[in-house]
């Protein structure tokens, strides 16, 4: 048994409210050659818990200590607690999504210790139709976000490279908390998320009605892989449609791999799940959103869930930022080529898609402002929408990169 697990078993938990956020590790050990610190403390009153309880989180250091490192945040499934989730990283094939790169810090959060008090990552209503205020976060959501920010400050994390992921219930929490916190997370990845009600509630996706004053930061880029033969994947058609219609960036992969967490087994069914380098995304860089793409496969939800075909949404689109100035944005758009990606899927040589631009850093974009654009030999004018989002419809994207240039008029 790992040294730190023995030490935790000997630790006597006294449920108290945390007096301040100057938490100290209760145990230090190593795992897979990396330093590990266990934090165990009470909760903060501002999180809104009705009674005192214990919280535990674990920080795993980079294999070689470094400054300004990225942070990999993990939400465990309902069948585990934080200690079991960390223990998974010792074995390839055991919840592979939990394993962070060696040069990252990793933060493992817990919600199982207080499950009898409703402290679950789901943090959501029981149905899509239930009326809840999307702006009112549950205690578990407040605790999670506060802990992430504390760890970022404590360990000097690169604020533009914070990533969230989770499996099953943790995948539901990843979508539910992550999508509406693009101000914090650069990108998020959900392994067989156990439902989309949480994210639908937080983002006011249909059938909920979006309030007129509903506003969120540009969301992180979302990666989701789910199985049509997994009962937890219900309502994914509503989630994917809402992400497309709202012009939120989403890479979605599916196939009949069930409620799996072993990447090798999943990739035998859909080998695209790790094809997009989500950990290279930076929060302070523009990114394109591809919607209504001609290269997308028809999803099997809700009527064809017995279909055994694997498929993808937006899997082959790539980009490279060139410049972002006060009056002009340049970004190269292209399709990944067969020489750069080995896959059982047929990679298209061209695809048509609507392209929206998010997280623009320097070019000034006011609602309803007009812009001129060029893309290869194509050109035109476009007006930003009421929320200040620029969308250029019907671009033909090839494996050969072409530069999209958007200028203020």
Q: How far apart are CA 301 and CA 303, in angstroms?
A: 5
Tell me the CA distances in angstroms from 117 to 88, 114, 164, 366, one per residue in order.
26, 6, 24, 45
* Secondary structure of residue 9 in the 3-state scheme: helix
CA 125 to chain centre: 20
| Predicted structure pTM score | 0.94
Q: Which residues contact 75 (CB under 8 A, 6 or more apart)?
A: 109, 111, 121, 144, 164, 165, 166, 167, 169, 170, 171, 173, 174
Helix axis angle, 139-154 relative to 169-178, nearest 10°? Answer: 80
- Render 260-277 in DSSP notation, one character per residue: ---HHHHHTT-TTTT-S-
Q: Which residues contact 113 (CB under 8 A, 6 or more apart)?
A: 53, 54, 55, 56, 81, 119
Please state, as a whole number, how many other Cβ atoms lie within 10 Å of the Cβ of residue 374.
Answer: 15
Q: What is the mean pLDDT of each run of 10 residues along the chain (409 residues)?
A: 44 45 90 97 89 91 96 95 96 97 98 77 74 84 95 97 97 96 98 95 90 89 98 97 98 98 98 98 98 98 96 98 97 97 97 98 96 97 96 98 97
CA 256 to chain centre: 22
Is the distance from CB of 247 to CB of 391 less than 8 angstroms? yes
The predicted structure's pLDDT at residue 3: 45
User: Given its phi and psi angles, is residue 235 left (phi above 0), alpha (psi -120 to 50 degrees) or beta?
Assistant: left
The predicted structure's pLDDT at residue 20: 52
The predicted structure's pLDDT at residue 53: 85
Residue ranges and CATH numbers for the domains of the chain are 3-284 (3.40.50.1820), 318-409 (2.60.40)
Q: How far apart are CA 111 and CA 80, in angstroms?
A: 9
The predicted structure's pLDDT at residue 16: 47
């Amino acid at each position: 048994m790992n040294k730190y697990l023995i030490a935790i078993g000997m630790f006597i938990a006294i449920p108290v409210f945390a007096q301040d956020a100057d938490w100290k590790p209760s145990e230090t050990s190593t795992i897979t050659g990396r330093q590990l610190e266990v934090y165990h403390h009470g909760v903060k009153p501002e999180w809104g818990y009705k009674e005192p309880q214990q919280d535990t989180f674990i920080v795993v250091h980079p294999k070689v200590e470094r400054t300004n490192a990225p942070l990999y945040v993990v939400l465990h499934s309902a069948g585990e607690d934080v200690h079991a989730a960390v223990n998974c990283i010792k074995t390839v094939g055991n919840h592979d999504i939990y394993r962070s790169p060696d040069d990252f810090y990793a933060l493992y959060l817990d919600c199982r210790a207080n499950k009898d008090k409703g402290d679950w990552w789901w943090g959501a209503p029981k149905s899509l139709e239930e009326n809840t205020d999307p702006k009112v976060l549950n205690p578990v959501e407040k605790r999670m976000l506060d802990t992430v920010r504390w760890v970022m400050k404590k360990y000097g994390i690169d604020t533009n490279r914070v990533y969230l992921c989770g499996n099953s219930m943790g995948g539901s929490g990843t979508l539910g908390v992550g999508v509406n916190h693009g101000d914090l997370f650069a990108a998020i990845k959900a392994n067989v998320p156990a439902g989309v009600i949480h994210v639908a509630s937080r983002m006011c996706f249909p059938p909920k009605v979006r309030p007129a004053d509903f506003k969120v930061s540009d969301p992180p880029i979302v990666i989701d892989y789910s199985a049509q033969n997994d009962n937890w994947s219900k309502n994914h058609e509503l989630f994917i449609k809402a992400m497309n219609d709202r012009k939120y960036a989403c890479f979605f992969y599916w196939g009949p791999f069930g409620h799996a967490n072993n990447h090798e087994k999943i990739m035998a069914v859909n080998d695209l799940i790790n094809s997009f380098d989500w950990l290279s995304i930076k929060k302070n860089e523009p990114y394109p959103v591809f919607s209504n793409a001609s290269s997308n496969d028809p999803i099997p939800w809700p009527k064809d869930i017995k279909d055994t075909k694997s498929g993808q949404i937006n899997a082959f689109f790539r980009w490279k930022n060139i410049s972002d100035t006060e009056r002009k944005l340049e970004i190269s758009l292209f399709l990944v080529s067969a020489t750069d990606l080995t896959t059982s899927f047929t990679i298209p040589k061209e695809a048509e898609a609507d392209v929206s631009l998010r997280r623009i850093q320097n070019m000034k974009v006011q609602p309803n402002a007009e812009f001129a654009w060029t893309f290869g030999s194509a050109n035109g004018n476009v007006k930003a929408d009421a929320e200040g989002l620029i969308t250029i419809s019907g671009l033909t994207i090839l494996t050969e990169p072409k530069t999209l240039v958007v200028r203020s008029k």
